[in-house]
Amino acid sequence: MSAPARILVTKRVFPEAVEFLRREFEVDYNGTDRVLPSDELIQRARGCAAVVSQLTDRLSADVIAALDGVRIIANVAVGYDNIDVAAATARSIAVTNTPGVLTETTADFAFALLMAAARRVVEAHAFVHSGQWSTWIIDLLAGQDIHGATLGIFGLGRIGAAVARRGRGFGMRILYCDDQPAPPELERELEARRVSREELLRESDFVSLHVPLTPATRHLIGAAELAMMKPSAILVNTARGPVVDEAALAEALEKRTIWAAGLDVFEDEPRVHPKLLELPNVVLAPHIASASFSTRRRMSMMAAENAAAALAGRRPPNLVNPEVWR
Ligand code: DGY
Residue 271 has pLDDT above 90, yes or no: yes
Which pLDDT score is estimated for 235?
A: 99
pLDDT band of residue 326 (cuts 50, 70, 90) is confident
What would the pLDDT profile of 235-260 be if each residue is shown by its tens digit? 999 999 999 999 999 999 999 999 99
| Strand residues in the chain grouped as ranges (E) | 6-9, 26-29, 50-53, 72-75, 94-96, 150-154, 173-177, 192-194, 206-209, 234-237, 260-263, 282-284
CA distance 11 to 309: 20
Residue 238 CA neighbour count, 13 Å, CB half: 27
Which residues fall within 8 angstroms of residue 135, CB to CB, at 6 or more apart? none
CA distance 54 to 23: 22
Residue 171 has pLDDT above 80, yes or no: yes
**CA-proximal residue: ligand 1, atom 4 (nearest):** 77
Ligand 1 atom closest to Cα of residue 291 = 7
Look up the CATH architecture of domain 103-284.
3-Layer(aba) Sandwich (3.40)
Residue of 106, 158, 296 with the most ligand 1 atoms within 8 Å of its CB, for mutation: 106
As to burial, measured by CB atoms within 10 angstroms (0-12 exposed, 13-18 middle, 19+ buried), residue 123 is middle
What would the pLDDT profile of 74-123 be if each residue is shown by its tens digit? 999 999 999 999 999 999 999 999 999 999 999 999 999 999 999 999 99
Q: What percent of the chain has pLDDT over 90?
A: 99
SS3 226: helix
Q: How large is the average pLDDT for residues 255-269?
A: 98
Q: How large is the average pLDDT for residues 136-163?
A: 98
CA distance 164 to 111: 9
Buried b (16+ CB within 10 A) or exposed e, 22-53: eeebebbbbeeeeebeeeebbebbeebbbbbb
**CA-proximal residue: ligand 1, atom 3 (nearest):** 79
Q: How large is the average pLDDT for residues 22-46?
A: 98
Q: How large is the average pLDDT for residues 299-324?
A: 98
Q: How large is the average pLDDT for residues 16-28?
A: 98
Which pLDDT score is estimated for 144?
A: 98
Q: Which of 71, 166, 287, 296 is catalytic?
A: 287
Q: Are residues 120 and 141 in contact, defined by beta-carbon separation less than 8 angstroms?
A: yes
Residue of 11, 13, 14, 55 with the most ligand 1 atoms within 8 Å of its CB, for mutation: 55
Q: Which of 16, 24, 198, 269 is catalytic?
A: 269
Residue 7 has pLDDT above 90, yes or no: yes
CA distance 141 to 37: 45
Ligand 1 lined by 77 (C-beta under 6 Å):
yes
**CA-proximal residue: ligand 1, atom 1 (nearest):** 77
Which is the CATH superfamily of the domain at 6-100+293-324? NAD(P)-binding Rossmann-like Domain (3.40.50.720)
Amino acid at 321: N
Which pLDDT score is estimated for 33?
A: 98
Q: How large is the average pLDDT for residues 198-214?
A: 98
Q: How large is the average pLDDT for residues 178-185?
A: 98
SS3 73: strand
State in Å: Cα 128 to ligand 1 middle.
33
Does this chain's domain 6-100+293-324 share its CATH topology with 103-284? yes
**Dihedral sign (CA 272, 278, 281, 283):** positive
Which pLDDT score is estimated for 2?
A: 83
How many Cβ atoms sit within 10 Å of the Cβ of residue 319?
18
Residue of 104, 290, 292, 301 with the most ligand 1 atoms within 8 Å of its CB, for mutation: 290
- Domains of the chain, by residue range, sit at 6-100+293-324, 103-284
What would the pLDDT profile of 44-66 be if each residue is shown by its tens digit? 999 999 999 999 999 999 999 99
State in Å: Cα 143 to ligand 1 middle.
29
Which pLDDT score is estimated for 149?
A: 99
Which pLDDT score is estimated for 221?
A: 98
**CA-proximal residue: ligand 1, atom 7 (nearest):** 290
> From residue 30, how far is each of 35, 47, 84, 191, 262 by CA, in Å?
9, 16, 22, 47, 32
Helix (H) or strand (E) holding 301: helix 293-311
Phi-psi region of 56 (alpha: psi -120 to 50; beta: other; left: phi over 0): alpha
- The answer to whether 269 is a known catalytic residue is yes
Mean pLDDT of the chain: 98
> From residue 173, how far is each of 106, 161, 235, 258 by CA, in Å?
21, 13, 16, 20
CA distance 278 to 132: 19
Residue 1 has pLDDT above 80, yes or no: no
pLDDT band of residue 287 (cuts 50, 70, 90) is very high
pLDDT band of residue 223 (cuts 50, 70, 90) is very high
Ligand 1 lined by 212 (C-beta under 6 Å):
no
Which pLDDT score is estimated for 281?
A: 98
Ligand 1 lined by 83 (C-beta under 6 Å):
no
State in Å: Cα 141 to ligand 1 middle.
32
- The answer to whether 287 is a known catalytic residue is yes
Residue 204 CA neighbour count, 13 Å, CB half: 34
**CA-proximal residue: ligand 1, atom 6 (nearest):** 77
Could you check whether the bond before residue 322 is cis, i.e. omega within 30 degrees of 0? Answer: no
Q: How large is the average pLDDT for residues 14-41?
A: 98
> From residue 63, how far is each of 29, 42, 73, 91, 100 by CA, in Å?
19, 7, 12, 12, 28
State in Å: Cα 247 to ligand 1 middle.
23
